Amino acid sequence: MRHVTVSEAATPVRSAPDMQGAHPAAADYLAIDNIWKSFGDFLALKGVSLSIKDGEFVCFLGPSGCGKTTLLRAIAGLDLQTLGTIQQAGRDISTLPPSKRDYGIVFQSYALFPNLTIEKNIAFGLENANRPKAEIKARVAELLELVGLSSQAKKYPAQLSGGQQQRIALARAMAVSPGLLLLDEPLSALDAKVRVHLRHEIKELQRKLGVTTIMVTHDQEEALSMADRIVVMNHGVIEQIGTPTEVYRHPKTLFVADFIGETNQFPAKVTDTGRVALGGTDLVCAPHDIAPGSEVTAVIRPVDVIPHSLDGTEQIGTPENLIDVTVDQMEFLGSFWRCRLASPRFGENILVADFSLNAVRRLGIETGGQMRAELPQGRMLVFAKAG
Amino acid sequence: MSVATATMPRGRTLRPQLSSDDMVKRGLMLVISLYLIVALALPLYVLLSKSLSTYQFDLNIFEIQRSDETGTNFSPARTVADLNAEVNAITPDQLNTSSDGRLHVTGLFQDFSFRSPVKYRIRATTDNASFLVGSELKRGKDWVELDSNTFRRVVLRPVSTIGLDNFVSYFSTPALAKSIGNSLLMGVISTVLVIGIAFGLGYALNRSRMPFKSVFRLIVTIPILVPSLLPGIALVYLFGNQGLLKNWMMGYSIYGPIGIVIGSVFFTLPHALLIISTALSVADARHYEAAASLRASKWRTFWTVTVPGARYGIISAAFVVFTMVITDFGLPKVIGGQYNMLAVDIYKQVIGQQNFEMGAVVSVLLLVPAVVAFFVDRAIQKKQVALLSARSVPYDPKPNPGFDWGCFAYCSLIAAFILVMIGVCQLAATVKFWPYDLTLSMRNFRFDLMDGGGWGAYHNSIKMALLTAFFGTVIVFTGAYMVEKSDGFRIGRSMFQFLAMLPMAVPGMVLGLAYIFFFNNPANPLNTIYGTMTILVVCTVTHFYTVSHLTALTALKQMDREFEPVAASLKQPFHKLFFRVTVPVCLPAILDIAIYLFVNAMTTVSAVVFLYSTQTQLASVAVLNMDDAGDIAPAAAMGMMIFYTNVFARLVHGVISRFLLVRTQTWRKR
């Protein structure tokens, strides 16, 4: 593999020079086709297909046991898939050993070599037979600069903080300019503040180097804030692939809606195209193609509920989705209020809504008070009942 | 994309392409597996089959014809059994024999004369039957015609059968079968005593604030540094026929069960203490606080909190001690007198009576309790781990002058016992003639004047211990690395793991005898190493493989599992990672393995006693042989030489460890 010099590293889009002829530009850098993985009787991956573009930052997101790490390890060649093919830059890598593939990897534990200095850790992958020492030194210095730890070169890993170790692991993985960067829950061992900071840094670095990156995480915030595209997985299948806003605003399945962000979920029945009955109340909802009469789950996020005062002086949406409610309970959560709203029109169901401090003050919302809640049509989602 | 109904399509499961690293790793694992198979599995297999094979002359499978004086007219063929039925020349006793058995047949003909012109024809009637004419082996159903003079050189060869006959005859020999009871009895008594003493020591060392704890810890490890023969010799000097304290015995003899028990306590104590002390060192203070808040008495707390908390340690230690006592050979050989134990029986059968089959039988019997103890111990060890991980608030003993001084007195008593035993040997080695002439003299160290190999034996031992430490450490650590840090090849790895655990269950005597059967067979191409230093080193490495392997595994398990994937993703060969990271990080454990192998190679007797030759006599065996020859003072002197050497080795190990730690482990400091 070629090595990225400082000037090249600054160019935003990275090209795959060796493989250019093998696949057309802007085509898929990584093509995963129908991957199955079984551990005995247990199927960890059930026919996963996915393609990733050159320079893209993709997150595998899902609860533990969903198969995201298994998929990453298959791509890395650490746990071979049972069936299916993986192509990287037009080359079939399905059964290659890790050392014959082209990637750098950062694990949750960082796996820094404890007895080698930071410098030596980064240089580990560079020390090949015919590479001059000076070149290695320059490259190490460049990488230390890149991760902002030039002053720590002579220290041992144990002398650095978790966040610093993380960055060293990243520098080591990037030292040999791999075509693909794999990050296996790289932030989960860090405390919250450092995590938020590093999120930004990793994303920045990735943008700068233009390296195609896959990150495994179970933290939706991490995925939403870093990824170009998110692959939401559950029970060994991909539930949805999309940009952060797509998966958040237009979840394709109830699982995605539930896993990313918070939801109200109500048992409901489709009454007509684009209409749904919830506890006896007919509401308009986002377009769907479920046959009338079907039992469904209606979903709306707490933040999507719009508060109004009872006198209705404000601009108001569709009259069907305006409901007078009683504020049953209020919980102060710092940056917003979480309110539990009850209405005879919902039947037994309680609607949870998050209102800004402003709105609560302006509309005089208080426990036991009356108010009007709007369920915007486009935010009212309908999913077929599971099973 | 329905979740519930997904079934994997049929198709060829992918197989990984192997990298050159994978090949090298598998190759290395194969080499070390092969080592364990050749050095352990095959010899044991041969031993087992030896114990099951019996040799008998079958008179029904040979036929003889006899001619008249003219040498041309032959009588009808008759079986040997038939012929013997008339004359009873061959008694039933003669029919049971060994693999070397030979049976003359001229006795069947009472008028036989080698000058007679009468001719004989002999043949076998089955394919497995054979007989010798002189030194020429004959098989098959063709008649062999011989004159009288040649006929007298005909001997029948026995046929081998697989069966339990050897075991039957073992159990029908009361003198032999009694050893089983003796061994079990000694095992049980010694175990109960040692566990009691070790528990007291462990309790004092971990749960009191007594002074000089580290001194006591040091003293209690002394027995590890000497061969198990040495406590026997010490007991002879103290309580033997001319013993210093003979009247303490109140007329009982030290030669026999009493000596065996005292000596066993001496040499198994450090091992028991190590296990029990570990179990006692991890106590949860909250349990004691809870007991105190419930107003439980000290005594009740002890029985409901302390003892249950250490129970796995106690059971584990009990099995270790029991196995050590029943499989030890050196001690009962020196002090056992007429009291037969299984391990000594093997020695007597093999060295004394050259009855290898019976030796194999006893070996198999000795293998049974050792294997049982091994599996019980493994099962318990697993539970022990679970207990450890659940620990929480460490228990910190509070000062309690009465209790602390009581502990101190108790520990002093045990330390005195150990120091007296060693001291007596030291004294006996350095005075002219115990107990009559107590002037200092070095003449007991003039080993070249006695049997046993002299100073050459001592030098051989040093050489053997160094070779064992070096090659053993390399083999064990490499093997453990391959098991722990390679992917795939699951069956191969678990088989290797089994082979690596096996030596712990194989007593030294059994291993040694198995080596005789396996390597002393001229048909074995490895026969050339028989009688050389190589076989001693191979045997010793194998004998002490398991503990070394576990030490290496523990160290390797503490290494991040992701080092190998990272190195592979950086396209670096595994040997670079191995030498730059794995070995330096594991260096303390590697040094521990080396010193463990060295010390044990210096003190071991049981396996090598069958395998040394005149060129490769060993110090530990010299102790045995000099003691056997009545040169007890020189035996004690040689024992002390082993002790000094091990102390010295320990010191060197300590210095090297410290030096290397400073140089290569700076990264451990924050």
User: How far lies B73's CA from each of B63, B69, B121, in Å?
Assistant: 16, 8, 11
Are A338 and A330 in contact by the 8 Å Cβ rule? The answer is yes
Chain B residue whose CA is closest to A48: B1
Kindly report the length of chain A: 387
Residue A24 is predicted with a pLDDT of: 42
Q: Where in chain B is the domain with CATH 1.10.3720.10?
A: 20-52+464-617, 173-441
Strands A57-61 and A212-217: parallel
Shortest Cα distance, chain B CAs vs residue A96, angstroms: 5
Distance in angstroms (rounded) separating the CA atoms of residues B128 and B139: 8
Residue A23 is predicted with a pLDDT of: 42
Lowest mean pLDDT among A5-14, B549-558, B582-591, B628-637: A5-14
Percent of chain B past pLDDT 90, that is, above it, reads 30
pLDDT band of B668, cuts 50, 70, 90? low
Are A115 and B665 in contact by the 8 Å Cβ rule? The answer is yes
Distance in angstroms (rounded) separating the CA atoms of residues A281 and A288: 18
pTM of structure:
0.83
Mean pLDDT of B493-501: 86
Handedness of CA B429, B433, B436, B439 (dihedral sign): negative
Dump strand ranges (E) for A134-208.
180-184
Are A139 and A154 in contact by the 8 Å Cβ rule? The answer is no
Of B325 and A13, the one with more pLDDT: B325
Mean pLDDT of B117-145: 87
Lowest mean pLDDT among A127-131, B187-191, B579-583: A127-131
Instruction: Say if domain B173-441 classifies as CATH 3.40.50.300.
Output: no
| Model confidence at B120: pLDDT above 60 | yes
Which helix H or strand E contains A330, and what residues bound it?
strand A322-332
Ordered DSSP codes for B204-242: HHHH---S-HHHHHHHHTGGGGS-THHHHHHHHHHHSTT
Residue in the structure block whose two tokens are 């029943």: B326
| Model confidence at B331: pLDDT above 80 | yes
Distance in angstroms (rounded) separating the CA atoms of residues A280 and A295: 13
| B395: nearest Cα among B471, B491, B272, B290 | B290
CB-CB under 8 Å, B6 with A124: no
Q: Which amino acid is at B362?
A: V
Q: Where in chain A is the domain with CATH 3.40.50.300?
A: 6-103+178-254
Mean pLDDT of B588-592: 91
Mean pLDDT of B159-172: 83
Dump strand ranges (E) for B459-527.
none
Residues of B in contact with A387 (CB under 8 A): 4
Separation of first and last alpha carbons in chain A: 48
Three-point CA angle B429, B431, B433, nearest 5°: 100
The hierarchical CATH code for the domain A265-384 is: 2.40.50.100
Q: Chain B contact for A81, CB < 8 A? A: yes
Chain A residue whose CA is closest to B584: A115
Instruction: Report the topology of domain A6-103+178-254.
Output: Rossmann fold (3.40.50)
Residue A245 is predicted with a pLDDT of: 94
User: How far lies A91's CA from each of A101, A173, B243, B480, B548, in Å?
Assistant: 10, 21, 85, 36, 45
Peptide bond into B76 cis (omega under 30): no
Query: Cα B206 to chain center, whole Å?
Result: 31
Lowest mean pLDDT among B160-174, B249-263, B328-342, B400-414: B160-174
Residue A7 is predicted with a pLDDT of: 39
Among A92, A102, A105, A115, the residue to mutate for chain B (most B Cβ within 10 A): A115
Partner residue opposite A80 with nearest CB, options B16, B560, B668: B16
Mean pLDDT of B224-230: 92
| Model confidence at B206: pLDDT above 90 | no
Q: Report ipTM for this prediction.
A: 0.82
pLDDT band of B384, cuts 50, 70, 90? low
Under DSSP, is residue B276 helix (H, G, I), strand (E, B) or coil?
A: helix
Among A43, A46, A95, A99, the residue to mutate for chain B (most B Cβ within 10 A): A99
Q: Facing residues of A381 across strands?
A: A299
Are B309 and B279 in contact by the 8 Å Cβ rule? The answer is yes
Of B67 and B189, the one with more pLDDT: B189
Distance in angstroms (rounded) separating the CA atoms of residues B610 and B579: 38
Under DSSP, is residue B427 helix (H, G, I), strand (E, B) or coil?
A: helix
B78 burial type by CB count under 10 A (0-12 exposed, 13-18 middle, 19+ buried): middle
Distance in angstroms (rounded) separating the CA atoms of residues B568 and B573: 7
Under DSSP, is residue A70 helix (H, G, I), strand (E, B) or coil?
A: helix
Residue A25 is predicted with a pLDDT of: 45
pLDDT in tens, B640-660: 999 999 999 999 999 988 888
Mean pLDDT of B457-470: 95
B115 burial type by CB count under 10 A (0-12 exposed, 13-18 middle, 19+ buried): exposed
Q: Phi and psi dihedrals of A381, rounded to 5?
A: -105, 150
Distance in angstroms (rounded) separating the CA atoms of residues B254 and B454: 29
Residue B1 is predicted with a pLDDT of: 44
pLDDT band of B667, cuts 50, 70, 90? low
Q: Facing residues of A324 across strands?
A: A372
Cα Rg, chain A, nearest whole Å = 25
Under DSSP, is residue A290 helix (H, G, I), strand (E, B) or coil?
A: coil
Q: Using CA atoms in the order B348, B349, B351, B353, what is the torsion angle rounded to 10 degrees?
A: 110
Please give the class, per CATH, of domain B20-52+464-617: mainly alpha
| B313: nearest Cα among B202, B408, B213, B204 | B202
Mean pLDDT of B274-283: 81
Are B231 and B262 in contact by the 8 Å Cβ rule? The answer is yes
What's the mean pLDDT when you consider all of chain B?
A: 86
Q: What is the DSSP letter of B11?
A: -
Partner residue opposite A98 with nearest CB, options B8, B9, B569: B569
Distance in angstroms (rounded) separating the CA atoms of residues A327 and A383: 27
Mean pLDDT of B157-161: 84
Mean pLDDT of B156-175: 84
Are B48 and B162 in contact by the 8 Å Cβ rule? The answer is no
Q: Chain A contact for B3, CB < 8 A? A: yes
| A54: nearest Cα among A23, A17, A27 | A27
Mean pLDDT of B386-413: 76
Residue B419 is predicted with a pLDDT of: 94
| Model confidence at B618: pLDDT above 70 | yes
Residue B102 is predicted with a pLDDT of: 87
Lowest mean pLDDT among A335-344, B2-11, B91-100, B604-613: B2-11
Chain B residue whose CA is closest to A122: B570
Which residues touch B474 (CB under 8 Å, ≥6 apart)? none
Partner residue opposite A97 with nearest CB, options B6, B19, B566: B19
Residues of B in contact with A156 (CB under 8 A): 666-667
pLDDT in tens, B335-345: 988 898 888 88
CB-CB under 8 Å, B21 with A105: no
| Model confidence at B91: pLDDT above 90 | no
In this prediction, the residues of chain A whose per-residue pLDDT falls under 70 are 1-27, 129, 312-317, 386-387
Distance in angstroms (rounded) separating the CA atoms of residues B143 and B126: 13
Are A298 and A367 in contact by the 8 Å Cβ rule? The answer is no
Residue B441 is predicted with a pLDDT of: 81
Percent of chain B past pLDDT 70, that is, above it, reads 96
Residue B669 is predicted with a pLDDT of: 57
Q: Where in chain A is the domain with CATH 2.40.50.100?
A: 265-384
CB-CB under 8 Å, B17 with A100: yes
